[in-house]
Structure 1
């Protein structure tokens, strides 16, 4: 199939584009490079620099015969979304509407959406299942939930086929391909920056959460496992119309546990600075991925925190060598 990958110059989008090509798909990457790098586009993929809100550009792309869209283009910083919610609704919600309208006009109806566990907000119970209440606690999660609601209506009215994949914390690396955000906001690469001496310390935001060590607990998934799930969802849309899945390991680790694991894997001292909580951070987010396992046969292959951090550490050292 010929697949348009929006945000395909980013960490997750670029990895998925790479795996798509490994499986014989023809890939076109669309990215405005606002928080991405041209070097992350996999070799052999066609790259188009542009924005998903550019209707004329999209019309030209879809006229070339696109079989499906994998949509990763979005702003992703929950903390920033609580300071500038307007840019999240413009970039994540309104721009996605332009993309969906262009798909409808072109008759392209197979769509895999990069959603987020942030749509759940503060969960009533863990592990979180897909039928849990959707009550985001930050504007980032709300911007993604609005897209999910649009997709539901597009499916109901237009027969639009889509998969919404709700991620938890994605980490790890493939050989020569890893996390490289600018600016960086994710815990594991920030910790590894400290291990390399590129930062003075790692900041812990909040030590008084209702968790065993007082720090937030998150579910970490290796980026290659995530990419495999996307391909399974894309294939499943050939026979199914609407898929909603969590993607995670099913077990959680606190911020302190991640720091300790990084100290062990790197052999480096990692200084910590403890700060107050950030607005909108739930205490615990752990996924139940039972549904995608039962329906599509997906199961994480790289589930240990040590393996995830180890692969990220190898990449992190190479990128600054």
Structure 2
């Protein structure tokens, strides 16, 4: 598969969660065309960061950045890295992270694009990502810089089904809706998430 990933890339869900997201896209498209509606689907890549009291809260936590911050805060002993032999520059998986503030601005543009007008219905799908990937090791190093914590690492085997690289092409939403990520830096995303975690809002 080509990288960065466009909206036209083949959809091959490998989990019930992925199947339901694809089914929702198909149903939205059918309804829009059948009833003259305007609809937008936003496909997030890896949401990160925080704004005020809005940040990540998962129990149990499965995402890389919050787990790194748990280690930095002394609530976990080490971060587990699943696979260090991928065909990437440092051997770890590469992912596209996008700040939640940039996601919010994309939602506002999507709402404006779907304002009621006369005419035939349509359904537009947009990828939301920075278009730049960060490896697991790069994210770990960023978290170490931001938190001034050593963050010990435990190497583990690959997880089945984890692709080496997942990076979005957001060219379509940039060209059609004028969206641009204003906060693309991984250090800033982690710094905002770290502030959220230390504030107690994440508990």
Q: TM-score, normalised by structure 1?
A: 0.59
After superposition, where does 1:69-108 map in structure 2 within 5 Å?
none
Q: CA deviation at 1:248?
A: 0.5
Q: 107, 125, 141: which is aligned to 1:244? A: 125
Q: Are 1:151 and 2:28 an aligned pair?
A: yes
**Which consecutive residues of structure 1, in runs of 5 or more, have no partner in the other structure?**
1-123
Is residue 2:79 matched to residue 1:202? Answer: yes
The counterpart of 1:292, out of the listed 147, 150, 173, is 173
2:101 is aligned with 1:220: no
Q: In structure 1, how many angstroms separate the alpha carbons of the residues matched to 2:197 and 2:151?
A: 15
Following the alignment from structure 2 to structure 1, what is the Cα–Cα distance between the partners of residues 149 and 176?
Answer: 42
Residue 189 of structure 1 aligns to a residue whose secondary structure is helix
Alignment of 1:248-287 (within 5 A): 248-287=129-168
Deviations 1:76-118 (A, max 9, x none): xxxxxxxxxxxxxxxxxxxxxxxxxxxxxxxxxxxxxxxxxxx
Match of 1:230 among 98, 103, 107: 107
Q: Choose between structure 1 and 2 for higher RCO, CA contacts under 8 A separated by at least 6 residues.
A: 2
C-alpha distance in 2, partners of 1:214/1:264? Answer: 21
- Report whether the alignment pairs 1:307 with 2:184: no
CA distance in 2, matches of 1:297, 1:218: 23
1:163 paired to 2:40: yes
Give the 3-state SS of the residue equivalent to 2:197 in structure 1. Answer: helix
* CA distance, structure 1, for counterparts of residue 48 and residue 9 of structure 2: 24
Q: Give yes or no for contact 1:127–1:288 (8 Å, CA) kept in 2.
A: yes
Matched positions, count: 198
Aligned with residue 179 of structure 1, among 50, 56, 59: 56
> Can you list the C-alpha shifts for 1:104-136, whole angstroms capped at 9, x where unaligned?
xxxxxxxxxxxxxxxxxxxx1111111111122
| Alpha carbons 1:206, 1:277 under 8 Å: kept | yes
**What is aligned with 1:10?**
none
CA contact (8 A) 1:137 1:282 kept: no
Question: Please, which runs of 5 or more residues in structure 2 have no aligned partner?
Answer: none
| CA offsets 1:227-286 (integer angstroms, 9 cap, x no match) | 110111011101473221000111000111100110011110101112222222221111
How far apart, in 2, do the equivalents of 1:173 and 1:308 lie? 7
Q: Distance in 1 between matches of 2:193 and 2:164?
A: 25
RMSD of equivalent CA atoms: 1.7
| 1:210 to partner: Cα distance | 1.6
| Contact 1:155 1:161 (C-alpha < 8 Å) held by counterparts | yes
Contact persistence 2:29–2:122 (CA under 8 A): no
Scaled by the length of structure 2, what TM-score is found?
Answer: 0.91
Q: Deviations over 1:28-84 (max 9, x none)?
A: xxxxxxxxxxxxxxxxxxxxxxxxxxxxxxxxxxxxxxxxxxxxxxxxxxxxxxxxx
